[in-house]
Amino acid sequence: MRAINPIYIGLLLVSILAMSIFSLNSAKTELRESKVSFKESSKIANELSGLKKVYLKNSSSQKNLKRILNQKILKEAKLDVKFKKNSVSLESKKMGKRALDFLMTNILNGTYNVTSMKIKKLNKSKASFEMEIRW
């Protein structure tokens, strides 16, 4: 029976050490990638939860919209408002520039889901207007 050369045992141990170091480094890079992915997912989840809180408040957005539509400047514009179950339609055949500016400022700066909007200039100070807001 032959004896195993100590050099072979040393080479075996060195090769096992090299393979374990390589696998450890690849596991470390996977861990770094997973951490980056988790941070991105966490960031997106926080943004979505914030947006969900803002846009899913149906009763408060309806109250705010009614408050805006009851302003004196919009009463003079003869705005036709049709409330439906999941939306509201706003329409005016002849709306003044000031009233349109007031409405656009309040609607577009608020948290409303505007699905369609049409504005057509009739003359220098009048425009026709259609808008649909969903919730």
**70 and 127 together in one domain:** yes
What integer is the mean pLDDT of 54-70?
A: 77
pLDDT score at 80? 85
Reply yes or no on whether the pLDDT at 22 is more than 80: yes
Q: What percent of the chain has pLDDT over 90?
A: 30
What would the DSSP string read from start to end of 28-61? HHHHHHHHHHHHHHHHHHHHHHHHHHHHT-HHHH
**62 and 42 together in one domain:** no
Q: Binning pLDDT at 50, 70 and 90, where does residue 60 land? A: confident
**85 and 127 together in one domain:** yes
CA distances from 127 to 70, 73, 100, 122, 130 (A): 20, 15, 8, 5, 10
Q: Strand 80-83 and strand 126-134: pairing?
A: unpaired
pTM of the model: 0.56
Strand-pair partners of 83:
88
Average model confidence (pLDDT) across the chain = 86
